[in-house]
Structure 1
Amino acid sequence: MICCLNPHCTQPNHATLSPDCPTCGTPLEHRLRGRYRPLKLIGRGGFGRTYFALDADRLNSRCVIKQFAPQTQGTKSFLKAVQLFEQEAVRLHELGEHPQIPTLLAYFEQNKYLYLVQQMIQGRTLHQELAAQTTYSEGSIRQLLEDLLPVLQFIHDHGVIHRDITPSNVIRRKVDQKPVLIDFGVAKQFSEAIRYEPGTRIGTEGYAPIEQLRSGQAYPSSDLYSLGATCLHLLTGCKPEDLYSPREGRWLWQEHLENQGRTIHAGLAEVLNFMTRDLVSERYQTAQDVIEDLNRLPKLEGSVPGWVSNQSGQSLFAGLSQPPLSGPGKKAGMAMPTTSLPTMPDSPPSAQPDTDLSTGRATSGTQPGRKSKGVSGQSSAERLGGYPSSPPSSGSTKTSGGALSGAKSLGAEPAQGWQLLRTLPHQSWVTAVAFSAQQPVLVSGNLNDTLCIWNWQSGDLLHSLKGHARGVNDVAIDRQGQLLASCGDDATIKIWQLGNGTLWHTLKGHFRDVTAIALSHSDNLLASASEDGTLKLWNLKKGTLLKTLPSLAGMLKTVAFANSDQRLISGGLDNTVRIWDIQAATTLNVLTGHTNTVNQVAVSTDGQLVASASKDRTVRLWDLATGNLLHTLQGHTQEVNTVAFFPDDRQLVSGSSDGTLRLWNSQDGTLQETLPAHVNPIHQVAVQSMGAVIASASADKTIKLWQWLG
């Protein structure tokens, strides 16, 4: 079998031993340069053809022959084509030492045609892969980036820009499944000052950035743009030009994914978005920058089964007794034993910028890629509110009706009431806190991406859990004290076995920060709220997403279960509290009255009341059944970030950016006590199951534990 090398032959492939082509009569070249035997035409273009061949001098190893035979000669385009063809040979010679770039075997002229011979890569192009299968998964895209970015760094270090990275110019090598970058025909040396005629397009429409298409200029970031656009095509199945809105001046690829019922990790989405920015200055400047940001993301995880009971492993809680305390919020019939007051701890550390101990760099309010925070433009720290100008006063407290008779502030050594039990110091702002109902265990979440597990009776830190790539926003513990759930700015929810700190599952589905989570009363369901404006319901035992409740409220801040897990309560940036029917995935009622963001909602134990804490400095109490506003609790001087009911539902506690805890009577809305708890904002409060201890988490990098002494 031999192939005709006449670039104008209409049927060049033959199984013939004759000296001439039976189609066009051109003498057949059985061997180019005495060694390369062309067997089959495999590609053609405006500047020539590509053939599959065997190299007789290398044991008939397979190779590819590129023939330069443009249709027109003598024009500027022809001269430019000659330059590009010669340039490809030079580039392959310089770069062929890399295992993911084809090796140049020869470059010569024969019979007035130019030929380039290079190593043949057996496999399929990414374009062929996409045509033969479904769209790429998140894991496949990330693996492709991790495989190709070092190749780009290599060619850029050698002063070369590829300028035409597309799915057709990357081949998946069959032998090891590694992507190989091909077709350096339009590659450009950094030092070259090639100027193209007006209207000349260098690169492929949709994949080439605007600087290439307009003027032919290209930079390392231009290749990164093309690789990013390639990933968007593979991820969505849509060509890049169909994923970009010129009217809005932005990419719509995430909306396309949503329409397909898919999302990807928020960190990876952010990387792709910064690779494909329009302005050169706003993109990543080097492939190494992208690699570093990918390395900051959580490692790729396989399928992990849903949570199961702890059957093995050393428990973190071995020897811990049941908490013996009860307090003013106890249920009827519960005893209230007296306890001695432990020694007061030292003063908490002052607030300082967070530092990554491994690098020594400040981390508060920063994130990968030296980028600003998402759509909202705020970091986690900024969203949590600023510091008050001065510590809260300990004077009398007033409600909307004036001075409250009997309301008291915490004195230096009160004989009874709420007393500081101890302070638990942290390395960063404390954003979340939850008690276990079964052991004297407290879990906290921090902006340094860590979960801390404490014995709150002794103040000992039992364990630290690392898993979130970015700050933790909320934590929840199941009623059996075995399961811990956490969520964070990395757009994931993580399920841990609390007894030994094992990570059992990572739930992915939100494409922006997960702001809040709630466990159902049956502990079989988990609800999550996100900045992406959706509520999601998950089956914990299977680790699967059951349904998504799209909200019209915009960014959501809080979620809670109610009515025996038949209802969800949410709140967010639209200043409303929404009541959802879980089965129908519809809104049943919208409670209006707040004049600013609803930061947190809480549902009473009997399911009759909903409390909502707001940026408008109030807490509002609602009748869940009717949606009627019962009381507006006023007194905080800055936004109220958190609220929680006591076990008997007769009291609730709120925490504010003014640094105070305020305890309220839930029956009539009156203020009962004010605790000047922290000098910085309080982000979350939790009440121990017997009602005897309150935990307050703050931006002053501490949790304060408050004990009732009756």
Structure 2
Amino acid sequence: MICCLNPNCAQPINPDAAGNCQCCNTPIITDLRGRYRPIKLIGRGGFGRTYLAQDRDRLNSYCVLKQFAPQAQGTKSLDKAIQLFQQEAERLHDLGEHPQIPTLMAYFEQDQYLYLVQQMIDGKTLLQEMRRRGTLDEAGVRSLLEDLLPVLQFVHERNIIHRDITPSNIIRRQVDNKLVLIDFGVAKQFSETILHEPGTRIGTEGYAPIEQLRGGQAYPSSDLYSLGATCLHLLTGVKPERLYSPLEGRWMWREALQQNNLKVSPQLGNVLDRLVKDLISDRYASAQDVLTDLRGLPSLEGAVPGWVRQHPEGKISTSSPPSAPPSRPGGTSSRPPSQPPSISPAYSGGTPASQSVGKRPLAPRGWRCVRTLSGHSSWVTTIAFNPKTPILASGSLDDTIRLWNLQTGAMLENLAGHARGVNEVVISPGGQVLASCGDDDTIKVWNLATGELLQTIKGHIRDVNAVAIGANGWLLASGSDDRTIKLWKLDRGTLIKSLTGSAGMIKSVVITPDERFLVSGGLDNKVRLWNLQQGVMVRAFSGHFNSVSQVAIAPNGKLIASASKDKTVRLWSMASGGLIHTLSDHTQEVNAVAIAPDSVTVVSGSRDGTVKIWDAQTGNLKHSLSAHTGAVTAVAIHRSGQYIASASADKTVKIWQNI
């Protein structure tokens, strides 16, 4: 594939042989400056677009290509934008080569656009990590500081101030788990710390100290302030501007931690407090001073830094629930496994007469954990029951999909094909095909009988978070961080159409039983209903105060459930779009929701570690299940309605039975 370099092109991805863009008809540039081949759009902003490219002079190795095409209006704004773009190239050049700073490879002009080429850093920003895996604990904060402070010391020793340290400008490199400081677009030399015009703001609000926001002045202690504010955000999950009380003139981050029953040691608290002092004279003067105090703190016995996990291959990657206790060797939970359950005939695809579907909600007898499935080496993010056989599929941030025999608890297959974490798995109604998606921007289709990878579907330009298969077994839908929903032919992997218009990244998609509509949810806080035949959105359900993590549709097609980071599940009428109930009992973000075959029972899973069972007719909470030692990331209901599976950040899957 190759990318169109028109900064206004809506669909820049083109086949290799394209002479002109299929979307905007702009001539395709195959080799920028004779060596850089743009192959994927990976970002866009006020200055222009960022592409993944291949460097032909370096054996087609990957690099990042930043195109300067500012949206700024007026001569003064344009001049400032040009200055900041050139400044990033100059600062990267001044810094030379440091293993935790992107290397500048080229800076040039072509076809009236400026381009900056730099080393590609493969990984996630700390903001992306927090949104996916939760907040850092004390060990994680200390690890972050110890990793990044030497980088700042290196930068400051060369008389450069970054001036925009935030969770979005720090990437954890996948290959070695090291933190990399990016985006030197507003960096300045010490000698250039002059007063700007009144009202000029340099840096990001909440992270930038007062001297930057008022007058554009910055010092090494200004970067340390921003680093401290970054730590407070990652520790509490609350943006810095909401952690500071201007009326009291103090930071309220300890209160935010207490609300989630979390705390840090007084010694680390003192370091964080000093980093974010209002007065420059009260802050640390240098990164080395912070390191000295940090290394004098008492050691954390038995602690594992937040987000750190081990890959099956032994390389370090990122994850680990912030509040989960250490696991035993091999990744198994410290909780002893339950006794094997007595699996009913329902697990072989049948439904006993006493459990007939669609006539009554699950009997309010009692739920207990009857099996724990252990084996993944990182968070289990997704699960799905096979509707025809006693098999459950699970996907994980360890990049694998595992198939489990529910009667014995044995692992049957380990499907390895994704290059990055698996976000969702779904099994076709016939039970023969599994579709999966992941952070490697792909969808993969597997033969469940043989474990064979049938095809890899490409087309999204960012992480694919969700997949769904229609009731007839031929329609596949996917949702991505690129803010598009795509419809595919499952048997061939060919694109049918793209649904565009969402204001935020797509986190969940589900197809209605009649395959006429699709429901999606994502980072714009809305649930959207799409007409699949026309390819247009027909309704937006508004009510959540934070992003929508997952959506579900009742088998009878009348009810929509949505789980949100606002700690609620909301039930909506498919016909009218009206809100039926708001289910509020979880104490933290709700990550998952499912509706049982009876179309009455709703199951939800939350970062608070619980699985809750609700009555959709009354909105009442029926049961609350606690066994996981980390956040619950996914839930699934067996077709019999008598079994629930829950996946967790504690690296396990638990099977619950209604006894």
- Are the counterparts in 2 of residues 209 and 225 from structure 1 also a CA contact under 8 Å? no
Structure 2 distance, partners of 1:696, 1:386, is: 19
Describe the shift of the 1:501–1:563 C-alpha distance in structure 2 as closer, same or farther (beyond 3 A): closer
Match of 2:59 among 139, 144, 147: 147
What are the superposed Cα offsets for residues 482-516 of structure 1, whole Å, 9 maximum, x if unpaired? 11111111111111111111112111222221111
Does residue 356 of the first structure (1) align with residue 311 of the second (2)?
A: yes
Does residue 242 of the first structure (1) align with residue 196 of the second (2)?
A: no
Does residue 567 of the first structure (1) align with residue 517 of the second (2)?
A: yes
**Higher Rg:** 1
For 1:611, the equivalent position in structure 2 comes to 561
- Are the counterparts in 2 of residues 212 and 218 from structure 1 also a CA contact under 8 Å? no
What are the superposed Cα offsets for residues 259-294 of structure 1, whole Å, 9 maximum, x if unpaired? xxxxxx996999xxxxxxxx9999xxxxxxxxx989
For 2:578, the equivalent position in structure 1 comes to 628
Give the letter aligned to residue 673 of structure 1: H
For 2:532, the equivalent position in structure 1 comes to 582
What are the superposed Cα offsets for residues 124-180 of structure 1, whole Å, 9 maximum, x if unpaired? xx9997899x97767x96583662669x9xxxxxxxxxxxxxxxxxxxxxxxxxxxx
Structure 1 distance, partners of 2:629, 2:513, is: 37
Structure 2 distance, partners of 1:591, 1:491, is: 28
Describe the shift of the 1:511–1:266 C-alpha distance in structure 2 as closer, same or farther (beyond 3 A): farther
Structure 1 distance, partners of 2:429, 2:534, is: 27
Give the letter aligned to residue 421 of structure 1: V
Structure 2 distance, partners of 1:495, 1:471, is: 16
Give the letter aligned to residue 478 of structure 2: S
What are the superposed Cα offsets for residues 16-56 of structure 1, whole Å, 9 maximum, x if unpaired? xxxxxxxxxxxxxxxxxxxxxxxxxxxxxxxxxxxxxxxxx
Give the letter aligned to residue 516 of structure 1: A
Give the CA deviation at 1:587.
1.5
* SS at 1:354 equivalent: strand
Give the TM-score normalised by the residue count of structure 1: 0.49
What are the superposed Cα offsets for residues 499-539 of structure 1, whole Å, 9 maximum, x if unpaired? 11111211122222111111111121211111222211112
Q: RMSD of the alignment, in Å?
A: 4.4
Does residue 547 of the first structure (1) align with residue 497 of the second (2)?
A: yes
Structure 2 distance, partners of 1:546, 1:581, is: 14
Counting matched residue pairs gives 392
Give the CA deviation at 1:419.
2.1
- Are the counterparts in 2 of residues 266 and 513 from structure 1 also a CA contact under 8 Å? no
- Are the counterparts in 2 of residues 489 and 513 from structure 1 also a CA contact under 8 Å? yes
Describe the shift of the 1:594–1:148 C-alpha distance in structure 2 as closer, same or farther (beyond 3 A): closer
Give the letter aligned to residue 363 of structure 1: S
Does residue 637 of the first structure (1) align with residue 592 of the second (2)?
A: no
What are the superposed Cα offsets for residues 579-624 of structure 1, whole Å, 9 maximum, x if unpaired? 1112222211111111111111100001110011111111111110
* SS at 2:381 equivalent: strand
For 2:629, the equivalent position in structure 1 comes to 679
For 1:508, the equivalent position in structure 2 comes to 458
* SS at 1:617 equivalent: coil
Give the letter aligned to residue 309 of structure 2: D
- Are the counterparts in 1 of residues 475 and 487 from structure 2 also a CA contact under 8 Å? yes
Aligned ranges for residues 194-343 of structure 1 at < 5 Å? Answer: 225-226=104-105, 239=110, 242=113
Describe the shift of the 1:225–1:518 C-alpha distance in structure 2 as closer, same or farther (beyond 3 A): same
Aligned ranges for residues 684-695 of structure 1 at < 5 Å? Answer: 684-695=634-645
For 1:324, the equivalent position in structure 2 comes to none
Structure 1 distance, partners of 2:102, 2:570, is: 54
- Are the counterparts in 1 of residues 307 and 322 from structure 2 also a CA contact under 8 Å? no
For 1:418, the equivalent position in structure 2 comes to 367
Match of 1:429 among 379, 390, 411: 379
Structure 2 distance, partners of 1:698, 1:626, is: 34
- Are the counterparts in 1 of residues 37 and 53 from structure 2 also a CA contact under 8 Å? no
Structure 1 distance, partners of 2:620, 2:123, is: 48
Give the TM-score normalised by the residue count of structure 2: 0.52
Match of 1:596 among 540, 546, 557: 546
- Are the counterparts in 1 of residues 549 and 564 from structure 2 also a CA contact under 8 Å? yes
Give the CA deviation at 1:211.
8.9
* SS at 2:496 equivalent: strand
Describe the shift of the 1:517–1:606 C-alpha distance in structure 2 as closer, same or farther (beyond 3 A): same
Structure 2 distance, partners of 1:419, 1:443, is: 21
For 2:425, the equivalent position in structure 1 comes to 475
- Are the counterparts in 1 of residues 513 and 555 from structure 2 also a CA contact under 8 Å? no
Describe the shift of the 1:145–1:685 C-alpha distance in structure 2 as closer, same or farther (beyond 3 A): farther
* SS at 2:557 equivalent: coil
Structure 2 distance, partners of 1:508, 1:565, is: 23
Structure 2 distance, partners of 1:415, 1:225, is: 63
Structure 2 distance, partners of 1:453, 1:508, is: 24
Give the CA deviation at 1:358.
3.2
For 2:406, the equivalent position in structure 1 comes to 456
Describe the shift of the 1:594–1:215 C-alpha distance in structure 2 as closer, same or farther (beyond 3 A): closer
For 2:470, the equivalent position in structure 1 comes to 520
* % same residue: 41
- Are the counterparts in 2 of residues 484 and 496 from structure 1 also a CA contact under 8 Å? yes
* SS at 2:499 equivalent: strand
Structure 2 distance, partners of 1:481, 1:501, is: 13
Give the CA deviation at 1:362.
3.1
For 2:136, the equivalent position in structure 1 comes to none
Describe the shift of the 1:268–1:523 C-alpha distance in structure 2 as closer, same or farther (beyond 3 A): farther
Give the CA deviation at 1:353.
3.8
Gaps of 5+ in 2: 1-27, 41-51, 64-81, 126-154, 163-172, 178-303, 326-362
Structure 2 distance, partners of 1:501, 1:215, is: 47
Describe the shift of the 1:217–1:449 C-alpha distance in structure 2 as closer, same or farther (beyond 3 A): closer
Describe the shift of the 1:149–1:482 C-alpha distance in structure 2 as closer, same or farther (beyond 3 A): closer
Give the CA deviation at 1:223.
12
Give the CA deviation at 1:209.
8.1
Match of 2:508 among 545, 558, 563: 558
Structure 2 distance, partners of 1:605, 1:584, is: 23
Describe the shift of the 1:587–1:700 C-alpha distance in structure 2 as closer, same or farther (beyond 3 A): same
What are the superposed Cα offsets for residues 194-218 of structure 1, whole Å, 9 maximum, x if unpaired? xxxxxxxxxxx9xx98799899979
What are the superposed Cα offsets for residues 222-279 of structure 1, whole Å, 9 maximum, x if unpaired? 996446x79xx9xxxxx475265xxxxx99x9xxxxxxxxxxx996999xxxxxxxx9
Describe the shift of the 1:387–1:576 C-alpha distance in structure 2 as closer, same or farther (beyond 3 A): farther
Give the letter aligned to residue 147 of structure 1: L
Structure 1 distance, partners of 2:111, 2:97, is: 20
Give the CA deviation at 1:355.
1.0
* SS at 2:59 equivalent: helix
Structure 1 distance, partners of 2:91, 2:373, is: 59
- Are the counterparts in 1 of residues 92 and 104 from structure 2 also a CA contact under 8 Å? no
Describe the shift of the 1:635–1:293 C-alpha distance in structure 2 as closer, same or farther (beyond 3 A): closer
Structure 2 distance, partners of 1:639, 1:212, is: 40
Give the CA deviation at 1:442.
0.5
Structure 2 distance, partners of 1:387, 1:617, is: 18
Give the letter aligned to residue 534 of structure 1: T
